[in-house]
Amino acid sequence: MGLFDFLHRKEKPLGHEVDLGVLHTDIHSHLIPGIDDGARDLQTSLSLLRELEGLGYRKVITTPHVKSEVFPNDVRKLDLLCRDLRKHASDAGIGLDIEVGAEHFIDDSFGQRIEDGELKTFGDNYLLVELPFYAAPFGLEEILFDLQINGYRLVLAHPERYLYWTDDFSKFTSLKDRGILFQMNIMSLSLYFGKPVFDLAKKLIDNNMVELLGSDTHHHKHIEAIKEALHSPLLDKLIQSGNIINSKF
Ligand SMILES: [Fe+2]
């Protein structure tokens, strides 16, 4: 870890740490206790919230997985669960503003969710969607287009992790041409997800295709990876680019 990672990425570490406080808001995390593969209990949630506050964030929009069969969370219950967490956090002296959205997995049952209106947005109708890590879902473009026609503003979670498009970069370009926002994971700029993910992240940044940053915090190892990424010149470049809009949420 540390210096070795930077050598491996052929980067010279920054002489200072990037200040995540300028982002104001984190828009991707898994901090509602016990409902997905994120924080397993309230104590863990509070401790992760404390870490995020320590990193400089003022607000988190936490985004539990909604993924049929694996995490069949009912989006109608999320506000109630968030209210609970907000109260516990405030009682524990945590000053973060806490809201809830969801990270919707696009799978075969997704069309039904659109029809049933079971989608949880954040901000002004923004919808965070993720794709499978092994292959793009069948009919993806139609699904995304349908969502846009229905008024949703799409945010694609961690595009740099969809390695099946590494050699088919035009797929990213065509999503951008449709106005889809890309949310990169900060820890992808360490080697947490490996060199191929780092390389794809770099290419997306170099092509000015990233508008949002997310911590995607599930557990403390993620916090450690984010702390390591604070020395990344690429993260610095991205934040300095003026393309990042986290603070509007
Ligand atoms: Fe996530």
- The domain spanning residue 36 has which CATH number? 3.20.20.140
| Predicted pLDDT of residue 7 | 67
Report d(CA 38, CA 218) in Å as an integer: 4
Q: Is pLDDT at 4 greater than 70 in this prediction?
A: no
**Residue 47 — left, alpha, or beta (φ > 0 → left; ψ -120 to 50 → alpha)?**
alpha
Distance 193 CA to ligand 1 centre (A): 13
| Predicted pLDDT of residue 179 | 97
Distance 113 CA to ligand 1 centre (A): 19
Mean pLDDT, rounded, of the chain: 94
User: Band of the pLDDT at 87, cuts 50, 70, 90?
Assistant: very high
| Predicted pLDDT of residue 69 | 82
Across the range 208-227, mean pLDDT stands at 98
Distance 80 CA to ligand 1 centre (A): 20
Q: Across the beta sheet with 97-100, what order do the strands follow?
A: 25-26, 59-62, 97-100
| Predicted pLDDT of residue 11 | 77
pTM more than 0.75: yes
| Predicted pLDDT of residue 197 | 97
**Three-state SS for 190?**
coil
- Identify the domain containing residue 187 by its residue range: 3-248
Distance 128 CA to ligand 1 centre (A): 9
Report d(CA 19, CA 131) in Å as an integer: 29
Distance 28 CA to ligand 1 centre (A): 6
| Predicted pLDDT of residue 63 | 98
Distance 72 CA to ligand 1 centre (A): 15
Give me the sign of the Cα torsion angle 38, 40, 42, 43.
negative
Report d(CA 94, CA 40) in Å as an integer: 19
Distance 129 CA to ligand 1 centre (A): 9
Across the range 185-194, mean pLDDT stands at 95
Distance 214 CA to ligand 1 centre (A): 9
| Domains contained in the chain, number | 1
Which pairs count as long-range contacts for 141-150, CB under 8 Å and 24+ apart, including other chains? 141/174, 143/106, 143/110, 143/111, 143/114, 144/175, 144/178, 144/180, 145/178, 146/111, 146/114, 147/114, 148/178, 148/179, 150/114
Distance 29 CA to ligand 1 centre (A): 6
| Predicted pLDDT of residue 130 | 97
Distance 37 CA to ligand 1 centre (A): 9
Distance 98 CA to ligand 1 centre (A): 16
